[in-house]
Amino acid sequence: MSGKVDSIHIRGGNALFGETQIQGSKNAVLPVMAAALLTEDVCVIENCPRISDVIHMQNLLTKIGCKLSRKGRNLVIDAREVSEDYMEGESVTGMRSSSMLLGAMLGRTGHITMAYPGGCVIGKRPIDMHLNALAKMGVVIEEKEGAFTAWAKRLEGNVIKLPFASVGATENIIMAAVKANGITIIDNAAKEPEIVTLCDFLQRAGAVIEGAGESLLMIKGVNKLHGIQFRIPGDRIVAGTYLFSVLGTGGHIFLKDAPTRQMLSVMRTAAMMGADIEISKEGLSVLAEPARIPIPYVKTEVYPGFPTDLQSPLMAVLSVGEGTCIIEETIFEDRFKMAQELAKMGAQIKIDGKQAFITGVPKLVGCEVSAGELRGGAGLVIAGCMAEGETVVKNRHFIERGYEDICRDYQNLGVNIYTG
């Protein structure tokens, strides 16, 4: 079977055994990199993953005048000078999370012009929520063709109630508020671990924040922040991906530096499916039989509920076995695209609006499939690990947005996998 260079080849059907290191968190490092702008100083970000989204963020920070360098697992950001406030190009339009630079730049310079992040337009989540919230802090928004300008003579603290506990909007408000005049209160703030990490970084740099990880968050503006050395925690979604992988194939794996405190809903779901889980200071041990216990219903929710980013990996695992399961997706409107690719491998999945009805089949058969986005791509790699024969997952670049080296990690667990 042939595949393009931008592909992953997997010969599946074997149980997983071994140990792999969990990389630094994608969802935590990107807002921390943006927040380094607010320090007007030098920050050292430890345990920074080598993923394409980080490279995009590095490009954006470099474009506006920051100096960045790599020292092993550490990323050094010198944000003492900012010479540009216009952001465009693939690093913006190809990465939704580039929007978090909005709050950071407003806090730093009070002005930014940027292309619509991730191809979004005003009126569609998440950009509208960000801009509406920032407008309450005195930010003026001017739309241009394919871009917008946001500026404020002075950011003013306010009470902002979010209609949805959006991670991105919460991050943007926090970064604007730490340099604003007075106190900002976010009602219905996101509680995700990445919010807590961002607040921890800013507090260590001199910010005044109370309520991180709670629905009510208070930020008191300060005049100045300072540079720090800060370590990014392990990636809970990467750890969850490999946890579900061993549920799909059977075996015994150890996930070093897995952030277990952030993974309670994931570990609970895995235990319901028959996983034997042991937690230690070093990480997470998972022992599983290939015959999984069917679970009738799983619903994605904001943290601490089951994460939407692990819906696709879970779907891949549930596609093989006995019984029927319903997955309900409540976070993103169009996150079942992987189902039609799994069907090529023999899965039986019916999509009805926000629900996917999965009827387990005896086995999946390897074939050529295409990743359409990051987490769906990871789910297809799991399916390839489970399937008989060879699977080729095309569009590897989607997976590289969030997984530092997924082939290396699976090779550590005994999978016959390589890029091609």
Q: What is the pLDDT of residue 116?
A: 80
- Structure tokens given for 17: 């055994």
> Taking the mean position of all CA atoms in its chain, how far away is CA 161?
24
**Could you tell me which CATH number the domain at 7-23+234-419 has?**
3.65.10.10
Q: What integer pLDDT is reported at residue 2 of this predicted model?
A: 40
**pLDDT of res. 125:** 47
For residue 210, the surrounding DSSP H or E stretch is strand 208-210
Q: What is the per-residue pLDDT for 98? A: 84
Beta bridge partners of 111: 151
What local confidence, expressed as pLDDT, does residue 102 receive?
Answer: 94
Amino acid at site 34: A
> Looking at residue 120, what is its pLDDT?
41
Low-confidence ranges of the chain (pLDDT < 70): 1-4, 91, 93-96, 118-126
Is-same-fold flag (7-23+234-419; 26-231)?
yes
**Catalytic amino acids?**
120
What local confidence, expressed as pLDDT, does residue 119 receive?
45
User: pTM to 2 decimals?
Assistant: 0.94
Predicted confidence at residue 92, as pLDDT, reads 75
| Domain spans in the chain, listed from the N-terminal domain onward | 7-23+234-419, 26-231
**CATH, domain 26-231, list 3.30.70.20, 3.65.10.10, 3.40.190.10, 3.30.499.10:** 3.65.10.10
Q: Is 36 helix (H, G, I), strand (E, B) or coil?
A: helix
User: Cα angle vertex 102, ends 98, 104, to 5°?
Assistant: 105
CA distance 264 to 328: 19
